[in-house]
Amino acid sequence: MIEVTDIHKTFFVPHKVKALVGVSTKVAAGEVVVVIGPSGSGKSTFLRCLNHLEAADSGHILIDGIDILDRKTNINKVRAEVGMVFQSFNLFPHKTVLENVTLAQKVVRKRGKSEAHDKAMGLLQKVGIQDKANAYPDNLSGGQQQRVAIARALAMDPKVMLFDEPTSALDPEMIGEVLDVMKALAREGMTMVVVTHEMGFAREVADRVIFMDEGAIVEVGTPEHFFQNPTHDRTKLFLSQIL
Amino acid sequence: MAKLEELRYRSAYFLWVGVFFIGVFALIALLYGATAKIDYVWHWFDVPKYIVNQERIEITAGMGGEVAAIEGEGKDAVVIVKDGDDSESYPMAEAEEIWVSKGDFITPGKILGVYHKWQPGILLQGMWLTLKVSMYAIVFGILIGMLGGIARISKNPALKWSAICYVELIRGSPLLVQIFIWYFVLATLFNRLLMVYGFSEIDALYYGVAALACFTGAYVTEIVRAGIQSIHRGQTEAARSLGMTGPQAMYYIILPQAMRRILPPLAGQFISLIKDSSLLGMIAIRELTKATREAITISLSPYEFWFVCAILYLILTFTLSMAVQYMERKMAIQ
């Protein structure tokens, strides 16, 4: 589903930082991959490269067989197939919850009004927030907003879902409700790449865990391998710091 | 104890309210006293007729002869004048009184009746022109500013640099000079060109509107740019991640949110525009300020008219700011 070959990314603003130095990996259809690592390790940049919110400097990224670093690729078409959930939700504050979920369906997928509405209501029910359909995002709690953001991404019927630290901006008591939605999604067989600090989620749901540091993948393995006998010193140190 | 405290507070409050009003009246009295010292005679009763006046209109006979009949009553009254085989009828619908009766012999030009009609005076006409010029300039200013603002943040250097040059040129020179350039340079040039190609000339008014619109457009450009840039980057990213194109994200997500933030500074800009339109008097457009000057030449009462002029501007700007406040409330997200 996703095939990343040797991507590099350097930022020059505000100063020169090598964010990614030769990252390669593959994610199969239906697989749940959790990316962990210390802050500044490049894991968010890696995720944002996957739907071209950041343009990788070199290498290849194939999404469902399409190279998104090829200039001839219509990136908007690819992005419609790749859902993304942000740390800060990024709901559209001037639109109601329902409009948030229907807008892109109408504009990008060209669905009719009733079709988009039904799809949206179904998804809002799925994330347990259908009674807030006509509320504005600012009147929702963080956990509710993030669930709407997930519904908004799912409304496009994506083939892959990317989660960029989806629970980092939430109050502790709201983390659970968002993780539950993500777990349900994983059980349904959605292909997911999740950047998170929630080790419990990684242990329970991940098919594979990727540990990144200083812009490179340090260690890859199953959760069992990862949490019980990590091989690299850097991984051991990181795990000892957060567990 | 608390009651006493409150009473003390309230009496202090009213004391200072009193000080305010005394201050205002003292200023007025001072001004009046000074004018009395130089024997200025205030003619406030002169002012209303320059705002609205009653014009006397006479209905006159076009031919001489005999008043053959007066048919109908009141609004339907018609005076029929006959001279041999010729006859003419004059509807008297608006006349307050009919000055002739049946059988009268009249000469051509005889007044058959008189009526009075309310007409806007020179100040009201000027105010209307000020309003008209400002509204045109606001509409075009918004159009220019929207395009300019989007060009200003574009990555394309041709668009971006054009926008920067435009804004810097306009903001860096006085409006009066710009109005003169539009009127004495561009207007003469363009009107001559139109003549060469056999078209009719364009009125000075439209060059005035163009000058104001270009001037305001530059400021609106900066306001729009700031408004767009104040919307968090995450909004664009969220829209693009759903597969929207750049223009779609701008239209559906960024601009509606930016508009709300833009509205208050935009209102301030348009209020200055109404005030700046007073400069158009310099190129013979008879807006409120120019109209006031004309009224003063006729009435010889400068003091009264300049105050009235200021108040009429205040009515325009205050109405606009109320309208914008209403829109702001309407657009607010609850």
Helices (H), B38-121: 48-51
Looking at residue B70, its pLDDT comes to 80
How do residues B244-265 score in pLDDT, each as one tens digit? Answer: 999 999 999 999 999 888 988 9
Hey, is the C-beta of B132 within 8 angstroms of any chain A C-beta?
Answer: no
d(CA A39, CA A53) in angstroms, rounded, equals: 19
What are the chain A neighbours of B235 within 8 Å (beta carbons)?
90, 92
pLDDT grade for B1, boundaries at 50, 70 and 90: low
Hey, is the C-beta of B249 within 8 angstroms of any chain A C-beta?
Answer: no
What would the DSSP string read from start to end of A92-132?
-TTS-HHHHHHHHHHHTS---HHHHHHHHHHHHHHTT-GGG
Cβ contact, residue pair A88, B239, below 8 Å? no
- What does each C-alpha distance from B160 to B230, B246, B259 come to in angstroms? 18, 17, 21
Looking at residue A62, its pLDDT comes to 93
Kind and range of the H or E run holding A34:
strand A32-36
Kind and range of the H or E run holding B326:
helix B302-331
Handedness of CA B222, B225, B231, B234 (dihedral sign): negative
Residue A61 has pLDDT above 70, yes or no: yes
Looking at residue B96, its pLDDT comes to 75
Looking at residue B172, its pLDDT comes to 94
d(CA A172, CA B160) in angstroms, rounded, equals: 45
> How far does A179 lie from chain B, in Å, by closest CA?
20
Looking at residue B8, its pLDDT comes to 83
Specify the domain boundaries for CATH 1.10.3720.10 within chain B: 122-333
Looking at residue B102, its pLDDT comes to 81
Looking at residue A99, its pLDDT comes to 95
Q: First vs last Cα of chain A: how many Å apart?
A: 32
> How far does A152 lie from chain B, in Å, by closest CA?
8
Structure tokens at A226: 């990862």
Looking at residue B138, its pLDDT comes to 93
What are the chain B neighbours of A153 within 8 Å (beta carbons)?
241-242
Q: How many CB atoms lie within 10 A of CB B90?
A: 21
> How far does A45 lie from chain B, in Å, by closest CA?
14
Length of chain B: 334
According to DSSP, the residues that pair with B82 across neighbouring strands are B66, B87
Residues above pLDDT 70, as percent of chain B? 99
Q: Which of B233, B236, B240, B241 to mutate against chain A (most A CBs within 10 Å)? A: B241
Structure tokens at A111: 């669905």
A149 to chain B: nearest residue by CA? B238
**CB neighbours of B223 closer than 8 A, spacing ≥ 6?**
B145, B149, B262, B265, B266, B269
Handedness of CA B123, B126, B130, B135 (dihedral sign): positive
Average pLDDT value for residue range B159-179: 95
Averaged confidence pLDDT in chain B: 90
Residue B233 has pLDDT above 60, yes or no: yes
d(CA A58, CA B314) in angstroms, rounded, equals: 62
Chain A and chain B share a number of CB contacts under 8 A equal to 64
d(CA A222, CA A200) in angstroms, rounded, equals: 14
Cβ contact, residue pair A92, B242, below 8 Å? no
Cβ contact, residue pair B241, A51, below 8 Å? yes
Average pLDDT value for residue range B95-108: 80
> How far does A88 lie from chain B, in Å, by closest CA?
8
pLDDT grade for B325, boundaries at 50, 70 and 90: confident
Average pLDDT value for residue range A210-227: 91
Look up residue B326 and give its amino acid.
Y
d(CA B9, CA B312) in angstroms, rounded, equals: 38
Looking at residue B34, its pLDDT comes to 94
d(CA B171, CA B314) in angstroms, rounded, equals: 25
Cβ contact, residue pair B253, A92, below 8 Å? yes
A154 to chain B: nearest residue by CA? B242
Structure tokens at B160: 């971006």
Sheet holding B105-106, edge to edge: B86-91, B78-83, B65-71, B105-106
What would the DSSP string read from start to end of B108-167?
TT-EEEEEEEEEE-HHHHHHHHHHHHHHHHHHHHHHHHHHHHHHHT-S-HHHHHHHHHHH
Looking at residue A97, its pLDDT comes to 95
Residue A179 has pLDDT above 90, yes or no: yes
pLDDT grade for B54, boundaries at 50, 70 and 90: confident
Cβ contact, residue pair B241, A53, below 8 Å? yes
d(CA B237, CA B243) in angstroms, rounded, equals: 10
Residues above pLDDT 90, as percent of chain B? 61
d(CA A120, CA A154) in angstroms, rounded, equals: 9
Q: Which of B231, B242, B252, B334 to mutate against chain A (most A CBs within 10 Å)? A: B242
**Under CATH, what is the fold of the domain B57-117?**
OB fold (Dihydrolipoamide Acetyltransferase, E2P) (2.40.50)
Residues 209-248 of B with CB under 8 A from A: 232, 234-235, 237-245, 248
Kind and range of the H or E run holding B11:
helix B2-37
Chain A interface with B: residues with Cβ < 8 Å = 51, 53, 76-77, 79-84, 86, 88, 90-94, 103-104, 107-108, 136, 138-139, 149, 152-153, 156
Specify the domain boundaries for CATH 2.40.50.100 within chain B: 57-117
* CATH architecture for residues B122-333: Orthogonal Bundle (1.10)
Least confident segment among A151-160, B76-85, B224-233, B276-285? B76-85
B259 to chain A: nearest residue by CA? A94
Average pLDDT value for residue range B199-212: 92
Cβ contact, residue pair A79, B243, below 8 Å? yes
Closest CA to B277 of B265, B257, B291, B296: B291
A53 to chain B: nearest residue by CA? B237
> Among B232, B240, B334, whose Cβ lies nearest the Cβ of A79?
B240
B260 to chain A: nearest residue by CA? A94
Looking at residue A4, its pLDDT comes to 94
Q: What is the DSSP letter of A13?
A: S
d(CA A212, CA A21) in angstroms, rounded, equals: 11
With beta carbons less than 8 A apart as the criterion, state whether A36 and A212 touch. yes
Residue B214 has pLDDT above 90, yes or no: yes
Q: Which residue did the predictor score with more confidence, B92 or B334? A: B92
In degrees, to the nearest 5, what angle opens at C-alpha A106 toward C-alphas A102 and A108? Answer: 115
What are the chain A neighbours of B243 within 8 Å (beta carbons)?
76-77, 79-81, 104, 108, 156
| Phi-psi sector, A6: left (phi>0), alpha (psi -120 to 50), beta | left
Q: What is the DSSP letter of B301?
A: -
Looking at residue B333, its pLDDT comes to 58
B237 to chain A: nearest residue by CA? A53
In degrees, to the nearest 5, what angle opens at C-alpha B126 toward C-alphas B124 and B132? Answer: 105
Looking at residue B57, its pLDDT comes to 82
User: 3-state DSSP call for residue B317?
Assistant: helix
Closest CA to A200 of A235, A175, A237, A231: A175
Q: Which long-range contacts (CB under 8 A, 24 or more apart) does B179-187 make?
A: B179/B208, B179/B211, B179/B279, B179/B280, B179/B282, B179/B283, B180/B282, B180/B283, B181/B211, B182/B207, B182/B208, B182/B210, B182/B211, B182/B214, B182/B283, B183/B207, B183/B208, B183/B211, B183/B283, B186/B210
Residue B334 has pLDDT above 60, yes or no: no
Closest CA to A100 of A155, A141, A165, A175: A155
Cβ contact, residue pair A104, B242, below 8 Å? yes
Looking at residue A74, its pLDDT comes to 92
B248 to chain A: nearest residue by CA? A107
Q: Which of A45, A52, A64, A92 to mutate against chain B (most B CBs within 10 Å)? A: A92
pLDDT grade for B112, boundaries at 50, 70 and 90: confident
What are the chain B neighbours of A80 within 8 Å (beta carbons)?
242-243
Average pLDDT value for residue range A6-32: 92
How do residues A75-131 score in pLDDT, each as one tens digit? Answer: 999 999 999 999 999 999 999 999 999 999 999 999 999 999 999 999 999 999 999
> How far does A49 lie from chain B, in Å, by closest CA?
11
What are the chain A neighbours of B247 within 8 Å (beta carbons)?
none
pLDDT grade for B68, boundaries at 50, 70 and 90: confident
Cβ contact, residue pair B243, A152, below 8 Å? no
pLDDT grade for B116, boundaries at 50, 70 and 90: confident
